[in-house]
Every structure is written in structure tokens, then in C-alpha cells.
Structure 1
């Protein structure tokens, strides 16, 4: 667990950072204002939206007090919380590495006095403030601000400490810091007019669009998201139906438009060749009655009568079949000699085989021929003439 806590301290939000107010108020009679360390966007996303605090929020908080921030003095012993690129261009930046939990060294105190003096000399014609912060903006910040008030401005230690606690909103906690301020010797002011380092101008032009600006960021994301989502479906519907509907119906009418041409050409060519000259005279009568449009329709059925006219020729030849068969079949197979006492009928002798027979006999013989392999001669018919024919 201890290793995890150490890792979170080095990479995450500072410990107890949320327990302190972001910004105090201006210390009367000075240009100092204390605040806790502002965080870069990647660290602000780890805290609730209401507790996020970055360089741009710092600038807004100072302006809300009708003040203008001109210099930021960073006393933290690390550079992971933010970079000069996160600071607005309207502010300058000075970094003084100061170790925590220990009383700052004389070198750190001198560097602080030089940075403050140099800024006051450069901005004597304005009233811009000097913002000082450590991790919580309380112990290291309070010690160095009070040390300047005691050593340079000549303020009493107790009055300086009480003034700082009232303006910051929190009381200093480190006893070693308080003990050194109240009972420690004053530090020398020699060399404070000599600037140690030139302040760095901030590089940020506008607030970041990342998690540091959460209150304004969701509004921008929602607007941008809603503006882009309708754009996708708005482009798809016009493109898909614009191409498909015109192409498919444009081709379909061409098919049925060509179909009528086929049947219009076939009727005139078919009746001109098939029907004979005699049959062509019959349809002239009905063709004159209907209008010229339907005149082509009867041409198709006009061919049908020609087929029916030829069909009767086939049944006309059918009787010739059965008349020839009895002549060949009964001739070699005699049924027996006629009795001697019955003379032959001359009417029957003069008749040829198959003539003047009753139609009923023909109707009976046809199914019998179909049923059996060989036709049986009816007993009703007279015997075929063989030896009784006259010479």
C-alpha cells in the first residue's frame, strides 16, 4: 500500500490538495496573493469538475477580485504539475526550487527577494500582483512572504503571520516555520537589487480544450457532436436513392416498349404465306367491319378455319380402310358350304362385299377389332360367295 501511495504522489494529484481553497485574497499594502498549485489538464481530469483548478482558472479568480496578475513564483520542488506552456501569455513565470517540510535556505530566501524586487522595479507604473504558491499555498508560501514582509518591509513577525493567515483563509501549520519567523534572526538583504533570473513569459494563447476546461468543454463537444452526426445520414440518403431509382425505372420501360413491336410484325407475315387463295376471300367480309386497329387481330384466328377445313379429309378416307380388309380376310377362309336345298339369292350374288350393309354392323365390328387380335366374322352376315357365283 505504501508503494502505491508514493507512486500516486509522484504521478497524480498532490496529497490533501482538495482540502485547501484555490486562491486567497490580496494582502493589504502589498502586491502578494497566495494560492495553491494550479494543475495542468491531464491532472485536472482526475478531480471533480467543481474542484478543477488550472492557470486559466487562476487568472479568472484574480480578475474576479478586480485585480490583475503579473507574475507567478513557483516554490514547488518539482515541475510535474504544469509547464510554462500552460501559463497565459499575460503572466510571467519564475521557478524557485524549494524543498518542503524544511525551513528554506538562505539562497532560496535571497532568490525570492530578488524576484520580487525585480518585478516591482519593472512594474512600478502598474498595480499587477505577484502570485506565490507551493503545493498547498500555505507553509512554504507563507514563510517566504512573511520573511519578505519582516526583512524588507520591516513588519513585526506576529503581525506578518496573522496578516498572511487572514488573507489566505488557512493558518500556517509547520511549527518549524513559525518558530523561525518569530524567533529566528533576520536575513540579509544584500544583493536583492541584482536580478538572479529573468522571468519567463507564458506561452498559452487560449484555454485548453481538454479536461481542464470541463464546464465549457461538454458544451462544445455536444454542439460539435450533434452537428456532425446529422451530417452523416444527411449525405447518405441523397446519394443512395439518387442513383438507384433513376437507373432502374429508366431501363424497365424499354423492355415493354419493345415487346409490342414483335407481335405487330408477326401477324402480317404469317397470314400472307399460309392461307390459300380460296381461303383468303372469306375473311375479307369481317375485316371491313372492324376499325383498322383491330383489323390485325382477326388475321391470327383466320388461319384456324384453314386447319379445320382440312381435317374432314381424314375421316373421309377412313371408311376405305374397313371396306378393303373384309375382301382380303374372308376370301381365303370359307365358313363352310351352303346347304344344297337352299338356292342362292341372286340379289346377294350381284352385291359386292361390303356394300349396303347396315351401319349397326360397322359400329359393332370396330370395337371388336380393337379388343381382339383377329377380327371375328359376324354370324349375321351371309356366307361369302365362292362356288355358286355364275360363270
Structure 2
């Protein structure tokens, strides 16, 4: 399945599996290594959609990407967990709709959560195969979690357009909601309105998609691999760019303020007198945290699984790998 499919984690130049490759499409897109465009413009998390298990949020970033935004605007999986706990909610499954693997790995996902990736291209209405896969993942989770109230977290890049389309498509096709009601419900819980007009037109005027086969599981979800909350990044607030993020108006707003060290409490703030040379043996210690010996060694981190074990696409042929 993945022998001939080359996915680069630093780029979103991924051809949708099963799609015909254009002969003149030889140029590679420019590699993107930074924070997604307009990521700061959207609230981190929404609210649980009443009467459902769905909650939408923008893509959580790995620590290296979070270093590139103001500390108050950083958003990773542990921030997501804190936000959900403040809403008295627990997450059970993450459905990742991004068309790249560069934002995070399974080693960033808490092991208490299950994870499924459905490669979904942006800007265009998701294919019937992607819609069916989303329905199957949702139905399978609901079937296996009838005895609890855990949520299904859905995200694309901004947690809005692809996410909103597929959540609304499920509410319309499976739960029987009126399209206008479904869209309004999603928008109010997300805190942003779905922007893509082609998505809205298909939801409100397009035909319902078939629910045939939605009770047939397509792939088993994978558990996250992160055991402990990682330490905060060493970049100070002063070194980060200024914030222009709209932020969250919900429970997660100001989530980092109480976690910052008070000024003067960090031994690294001590400065040397002019001209004084630092002993060679202390150079590395001064850069690191004096509590670093209490952190688990790097070798304890679980290895990153091969891409085929946790990335899958509804349009791709069946893999020989047994998940």
C-alpha cells in the first residue's frame, strides 16, 4: 500500500491515494516547516456538540512547532487534555483529517486516546470514500463505547472547514438533522463559521450520501504513544513572536499563565559580570534546566511507528500490513 507512496513529513505535497497523477505535475511544492497559515486566527477548541459525541479543535502542534508561537497561544495535545478537563469532558478518539504528517506524530498523542487518520484534501468537497470512512470510524467508536461518555475529537488544520463538513455530513446523513440546523449547531459550538462556500453548498443543497456499509469497520484505531506530559520548551516568552491570536473565549483561555515561572525564580536569569569567562564544564549546564536529571532519558521515548501503521486513506488499496 505504501511502497510506492512517498510521504514527506515536511511538506503537504501529497497526492491523494487512488487519484490520477497529472503528467505535467512534476514540480514539487515548496516545503513547509512552520506553523500552518492562519493557525493563530482560530480558537484552539470548541465545545461539545449537544446530543453528539463530537468536539472540534484545530490541529495540535508538536513542541518544535509550538516554539514558534507565543507561549500563551501554543496548543499541543496536553493543552487539549487540560481544556477538555475544564469542560468536564474526556476524549476517546481523535480523527485526523489533515493531508500531511508534519504537525505531530503518534509519540505526541497521549496513550489514553485512540487515533485514526483519514487523509483529506483541503478546499475540495471530501470524496464519498472519505465520508464513508468517517462514518465508519464514528460508528465503530460509538459501538465500542456505549458504556461511557467519551468524545470523538475531530480536527483538520483549523478544525473548521473539512472538520465542519464531515461532522455536519454525519449529522445530516446518519442522525437525520436538517442541513441548516446541522451547520448552525456546528458553527455555534466551534466558535467560527464554516468558510468554504462549496462545502456549505454541498451540505445544504447536495444529495445525501449513502450509509450503506457504515457498520463495517475499515481499520482499527491506533493508541497514542505518549506516556508523560513533555517538559515545557526552553524558549522564553521574550524570545517568542508577539501574539496576534484571537485566542479562546472558552475555558482554555489563559491556560498557560499559571504555569509560567515568576520572574527571578529561574537560575538562568542570573547574568555574568562583563569580561568574566564561564568555566568550560559549566557551559552546557547553564543552558539546560537544573532539573533535567529528573526527566526521563530520551531513550525511553517509544520509537516512531512506520507510517503505514497509523496513516491510512479511504481511497487507498488494502494493505498487507495487519493493524
User: With structure 1 as the length reference, what TM-score do the two structures score?
Assistant: 0.54
Aligned counterpart, 2:309: none
Q: Which residue of 2 aligns with 1:118?
A: 140
Which of the numbers 190, 199, 209 marks the counterpart of 1:168? Answer: 190
Find 1:20's aligned residue among 28, 36, 42. Answer: 42
Asked if residue 108 in structure 1 is aligned to residue 130 in structure 2, the reply is yes
Deviation for aligned residue 1:167: 0.3
2:213 to 169, 182, 191: 191
- Residue in structure 1 matched with residue 318 of structure 2 by the alignment: none
Corresponding residue for residue 86 of structure 2? 64
- Structure label with greater radius of gyration: 1
1:72, 1:213 → 2: CA distance? 29
> TM-score, normalised on structure 2?
0.65
Q: How big is each residue's C-alpha offset from its partner over 1:79-105, in whole Å with a ceiling of 9 and x where there is no partner?
A: 100111101111111000000000000
RMSD: 2.5
Question: Using the alignment, how far apart are the partners of 1:182 and 1:213 within structure 2?
Answer: 46
Matched position secondary structure for 2:32 = helix
How far does the alpha carbon of each residue in 1:208-263 deviate from its partner, in whole angstroms, 9 at most, with x for none? 124299755768x966769xxxxx99xxxxxxxxxxxxxxxxxxxxxxxxxxxxxx
1:47 maps to: 69
- Looking at structure 1, the residues matched to 265 and 222 of structure 2 have their Cα atoms a distance apart, in angstroms, of 36
Runs of 4+ deviating beyond 4 Å:
212-219, 221-226
The answer to which structure has the higher helix fraction is: 1
In structure 2, the residue matched to 1:207 is 229
Separation in structure 1 between the aligned mates of residue 61 and residue 226 of structure 2, nearest angstrom: 14
Alignment of structure 1 residues 202-351 onto 2, 5 Å: 202-211=224-233, 216=259
Instruction: Report the Cα distance in structure 1 between the residues aligned to 2:113 and 2:235, rounded to whole angstroms.
Output: 19
2:147 corresponds to 1:142:
no
Q: Which residue in the other structure is 2:272 paired with?
A: none
Deviations 1:249-284 (A, max 9, x none): xxxxxxxxxxxxxxxxxxxxxxxxxxxxxxxxxxxx
Match for residue 383 of structure 1?
Answer: none
Q: Any conservation in 1 of the 2:67–2:235 contact (CA below 8 Å)?
A: no
Q: How many residues align?
A: 223
Q: Matched residues in 1 for 2:32 and 2:220: separation?
A: 29
SS in 1 for 2:177: coil
1:159 to 181, 191, 206: 181
Three-state SS of the structure 2 residue aligned to 1:70 is strand
2-side partners of 1:71 and 1:224: how far apart? 41
CA contact (8 A) 2:172 2:178 kept: yes
Cα distance, 1:164 vs structure 2: 0.4
Change (3 A) 1:108 1:66: same
Which protein has greater RCO, CA pairs closer than 8 Å, 6+ apart?
2
Q: Deviations over 1:287-333 (max 9, x none)?
A: xxxxxxxxxxxxxxxxxxxxxxxxxxxxxxxxxxxxxxxxxxxxxxx
